[in-house]
Each structure stands twice: as structure tokens, then as C-alpha cells.
């Protein structure tokens, strides 16, 4: 936080807020905010930024309380993921009189990108279980526009080929009203596969493709989501969805219970409600704050739907920052279906995103109830930011941030399989845990790279590489 002091002679000094007392500057005990100015927002509308502020003009604030509020507001604006950097500066213009200056550096919003990614659950699954086969790679093109009209609208169009052929369109309006509380998101997806996982055995996925290389599965899904943001940290989502899955009849030969009925088609509507309380300082890699998430989904709204069940999910993550170098992250996830059996396309458990236990990245543990507890103690080794404006040909790529963390990790979990499938009994219905050191790298545009060595409770150790923060 920087403070800009404007004395009566109009000469300005920029000082660090921590050194105010040492310089004997006349910082008021209380202050009234007269105006809020925003600069640097060439595309983003001002009201989108002001929506994140917890300050009001014309109100008298205690100075220390004001600095705390502004620090939190700065993080909220940054978490819009529209800016490379955000700086909020109080401008002292007179006795107990201030202005607020918000300076932002906008990202590049229209981002065409090449799809080249693994089709498997994680890098280790592809490297070890699938023998590093490049036949299991997806490629194509994806077009993002993360600020279509300057109101933080998000548009995504994808055309993907390779192991999984997929076409996807998403458009999100975060706010459709003047008070900026109500929003809408719609999405359409069409996916085909010639090779699919048809079951699990020995706690690993079993894949199948027939000799004619026919399409094994066609999936169409659509959804309409309504969102309500009552205050800064609470989000409510109500989603109506439709799913239609068609499979080749050879799939039923491999697994007669793939759909829990003899038909090769599965179609159903869903209605879900989700509540999220998000006070994380940074969404992509939090070091302080908390996240609470509760959801309930009803599968099968019509009597003609092929799948009927209830699913409940709860997530509670806490991030404790001890100082600028050390922080601790812990997270608990609970997921449960009410029904005893689900179609294989709806199977949950450990090993499927986002639920995993370190040391078991090579495994899938299927069941109806899952509980996972993740823990990481981290030390920030590097925190650098490079100015690349002289070599970058694109606007929005003027800086290259780099943060490096050393981590010590411990996870544990449990999967309850009511069906007690014999070939998966080694890991189901038992306590699982894994631990080990890691290195986390956070770079441009919130990209996280994780390098870890983990040992599980069966004394199986391995190196693992992941592209996302663990939680």
C-alpha cells in the first residue's frame, strides 16, 4: 500500500505506509473519502472495479481501519483476474480529507491458444500407466475473451481433436442488473471418444477401443446457471442442466453395468444449488483466507430420466499466513451419493479431479462416499517480477511474475464403496494417506506448476508433476 501526500504547496511525496511515522508526516487519525478515481482501465468499465470496494465516499474512517479495508479491496479487484497488477493509493488532500486512486494494469483479454494437453487424469497417469503414449494427447484451438464488453463477461470457444474430440461454447454474464448482484452463464458441449474407460480394476482405469476404431461414446451436455452475489464474499448458484450420453454396444459387453440398464443411451436433467463463501487472498494460489463450498444436485427431474439420485458436496479450506515467507494450507472435502450404485459416467471417489490423495495419483478409488483431507506447509523461496515490455509484442504481457515455494505435504482420505467390488478392495473402505516434499511454481496468468515426491501408506513412492494448485 502506498500513500500519496499532497501538502499545501502541491509538492507530492510517495511513501511506504510502514514508514509514515519515521518521516513525521502529518497522517490523520481519521479521514473522509471525497472521491474515488480509477486509471488504467482502458477496456474494463469503472463500475466493475467499484463493485469490489467496501468503502463509501462521505464516510469518516479510522485511518488504520481504512488501510485494512483498502488492502482487502485491492485483493478482491485482483481476483477478478482482469489485471496484471492493482494498486490502491490514498491521496491526502487536506486535514482529514483524502481521495482514493485505483491504478490497474489490464491483462490481454482476447487470448487465442493452442490446445496440446494430456487426455488422462494427471501427468503421472499418462507417464506411467499409459506408457507416455502420444495417442492420448488432445490438440486443437481455444479462444478466450475474458472481458467482452468491459463488464467481466467471459466467452470461450473450443475445438479439440485427438484422443477426445470436443466442441465447447461458454458465455458468462456476471451481472445482468444495475445493482450487480445477478448473473447468467450458458454452456454447450459435444464430446466423442474412440477409447474410453469402461470400468476400474485393481484400482486403475480399464480402457477399451474396438478393432474397427468406432466411436465408443458421444456426450452432449448443456446448462444454464443463475448466480446471485449478495455481498463481496458470498456467491449462490442455481444450475439447470441436461446430459445425453450414447455408447457403442461393445461397451456393454465390457461392462454390463456401465449405465445400470441394458440400453446404450443415458439421458437426464439435473438441478443443482451451490453456495460459496470465498475470502482467499489469491484465487489461483491462496496463501491466506478461507473457502467454504456447499452443493446439492438432483439427478433426474422427469419421470422419463434414466438416472435418478442425489449428490452432496462440502469443501472447507483454510489458508494461514504466518509471515511473508511461511503459510499453511489445509482443506477438507466430503462427497456423497445417496444411491448405492451410479452409472459409470457419474462415478466419484479419489483420483478424479479435484479429489486426490498424494501418493495415489496412479490410482482411482471408486465409491459412493469420499472424504479427503489435504495439508501443505509452504515456504516462499522466490518472489520476482520481470519487466518484459521491451520484448513482448502484445499488450497485457508487460510483466512476468515468478513465485517459487517449497512445500511439505500430507494428505489422507477414505472412500466407502457400498458394492465392495472384489478387484478394487485393496484401496476402498480403508484409510489412505500420503506425504512428501514438493516445489510449487506460480508464473504468468496464474499458471501453477507442481513438482512433488510422495510416499503412500503402502510405502510406494514416486515423483509426480501437476499443473494446478492442490486446493
Write out pLDDT tens, residues 161-202.
999 999 999 999 999 998 899 999 999 999 999 999 999 999
Tell how strand 30-39 and strand 97-106 pair up.
parallel
**DSSP letter, residue 108:** P
Nearest of 255, 277, 292, 232 to residue 80 by alpha carbon: 232
Overall average pLDDT of the 383-389 stretch: 81
Write the CATH number for 221. 2.40.160.50
Domain assignment of residue 157, yes or no:
yes
Task: Please give the average per-residue pLDDT across 397-422, as a whole number.
Answer: 89
Mean pLDDT of the chain: 89
Answer yes or no: do 193 and 326 share one domain: yes
- Do the domain assignments include residue 432? no
Least confident range of 256-270, 394-408, 409-423: 394-408
Task: Tell me the pLDDT tens digit for each residue of 59-73.
Answer: 999 999 999 999 999
Position 458 in a domain = no
Task: Answer with the one of 371, 393, 420 that is the final residue of a domain.
Answer: 371
- Determine the pLDDT at residue 9: 39
Q: Which of 50, 70, 104 is the last residue of a domain?
A: 104
Q: What is the DSSP string of 194-230?
A: SSEEEEEETTEEEEE--TT----EEEEEEEEEEEE--
Reported pTM: 0.83
Asked whether residue 409 is assigned to any structural domain, the reply reads no
Q: What is the pLDDT of residues 52-61, one digit of tens each?
A: 999 999 999 9
Question: Does one domain contain both 165 and 284?
Answer: yes
Indicate whether 449 belongs to any domain.
no
Domain that holds residue 294: 110-371
**Residue 429 located in a structural domain:** no
Do 174 and 315 lie in one domain? The reply is: yes
pLDDT digits (tens, 9 = 90+) for 216-239: 999 999 999 999 998 889 999 999
Residues 77 and 117 in one domain: no
Burial class (CB in 10 A: 0-12, 13-18, 19+), 285: buried
Within a domain: 212? yes
Residue 7 has pLDDT above 50, yes or no: no
Same domain? 154 vs 75: no
Phi, psi values for residue 354, rounded to 5°: -100, 10
How many separate domains does the chain show? 2
Whether 321 and 304 map to the same domain: the answer is: yes
Q: What is the pLDDT of residue 110?
A: 80
Question: What pLDDT is attached to residue 185?
Answer: 98
- Both 286 and 309 in one domain: the answer is yes
Residues 247 and 287 placed together within one structural domain of the fold: yes
Of 340, 343, 345, nearest to 369 by C-alpha is 340
- Classify residue 76: in a domain, yes or no: yes
Report the alpha-carbon distance of residue 448 to residue 466 in Å, rounded. Answer: 8
Query: Cis bond leading into 354, ω under 30°?
Result: yes
Q: Give the domain-ending residue among 328, 354, 371.
A: 371
Amino acid at each position: 500500500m502506498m500513500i500519496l501526500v499532497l501538502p499545501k504547496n502541491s509538492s507530492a511525496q510517495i511513501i511506504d505506509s510502514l514508514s509514515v511515522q519515521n518521516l513525521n508526516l502529518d497522517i490523520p487519525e481519521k479521514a473522509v473519502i471525497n472521491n474515488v478515481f480509477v486509471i488504467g482501465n482502458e477496456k474494463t468499465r469503472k463500475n466493475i472495479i467499484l463493485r469490489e470496494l467496501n468503502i463509501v465516499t462521505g464516510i469518516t474512517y479510522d485511518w488504520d481501519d481504512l488501510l485494512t479495508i483498502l488492502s482487502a479491496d485491492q485483493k478482491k479487484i485482483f481476483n477478478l483476474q482482469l489485471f496484471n497488477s492493482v494498486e490502491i493509493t490514498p491521496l491526502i488532500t487536506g486535514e482529514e480529507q483524502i481521495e482514493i486512486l485505483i491504478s490497474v494494469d489490464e491483462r490481454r483479454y482476447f487470448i487465442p491458444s493452442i490446445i496440446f494437453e494430456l487426455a488422462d487424469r494427471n501427468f503421472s497417469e499418462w507417464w506411467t500407466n499409459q506408457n507416455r503414449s502420444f495417442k492420448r494427447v488432445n490438440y486443437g484451438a481455444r479462444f478466450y475473451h475474458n472481458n467482452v464488453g468491459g463488464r467481466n463477461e467471459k466467452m470461450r470457444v473450443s475445438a479439440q481433436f485427438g484422443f477426445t474430440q470436443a466442441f465447447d461454447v461458454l458465455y458468462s454474464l456476471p451481472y445482468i442488473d444495475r445493482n450487480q448482484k445477478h448473473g447468467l452463464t450458458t454452456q454447450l458441449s459435444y464430446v466423442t471418444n474412440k477409447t474410453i474407460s469402461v470400468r476400474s480394476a485393481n484400482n486403475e482405469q480399464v480402457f477399451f477401443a474396438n478393432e474397427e476404431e468406432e466411436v465408443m461414446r458421444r456426450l452432449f451436455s448443456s446448462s444454464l446457471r443463475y448466480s446471485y452475489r449478495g455481498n463481496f464474499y458470498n456467491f449462490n448458484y442455481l444450475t439447470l442442466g441436461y446430459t445425453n450420453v450414447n455408447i457403442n454396444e461393445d461397451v456393454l459387453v465390457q461392462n454390463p453395468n456401465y449405465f445400470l440398464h441394458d440400453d446404450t443411451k443415458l439421458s437426464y436433467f439435473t438441478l443443482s444449488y451451490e453456495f460459496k463463501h470465498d475470502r482467499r487472498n489469491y484465487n489461483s494460489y491462496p496463501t491466506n483466507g478461507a473457502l467454504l463450498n456447499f452443493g446439492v444436485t438432483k439427478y433426474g427431474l422427469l419421470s422419463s430420466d434414466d438416472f435418478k439420485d442425489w449428490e452432496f458436496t462440502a469443501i472447507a479450506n483454510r489458508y494461514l499466513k504466518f509471515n511473508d515467507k511461511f503459510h499453511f494450507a489445509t482443506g477438507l472435502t466430503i462427497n456423497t451419493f445417496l444411491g448405492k450404485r451410479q452409472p459409470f459416467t457419474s462415478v466419484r471417489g479419489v483420483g478424479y479431479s479435484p479429489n486426490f490423495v498424494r501418493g495415489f495419483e496412479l490410482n482411482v478409488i471408486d465409491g459412493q462416499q469420499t472424504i479427503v483431507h489435504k495439508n501443505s506447509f509452504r515456504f516462499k523461496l522466490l518472489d520476482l517480477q520481470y519487466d518484459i515490455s521491451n520484448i513482448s509484442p502484445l499488450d497485457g504481457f508487460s510483466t512476468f511474475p515468478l513465485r517459487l515455494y517449497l512445500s511439505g505435504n500430507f494428505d489422507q482420505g477414505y472412500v466407502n464403496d457400498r458394492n465392495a467390488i472384489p478387484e478394487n478392495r485393496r484401496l476402498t473402505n480403508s484409510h489412505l494417506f500420503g506425504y512428501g516434499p514438493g516445489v510449487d511454481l506460480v508464473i504468468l496468468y496464474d499458471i501453477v506448476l507442481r513438482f512433488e515426491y510422495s510416499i503412500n501408506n503402502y510405502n510406494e513412492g514416486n515423483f509426480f508433476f501437476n499443473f494446478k494448485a492442490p486446493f
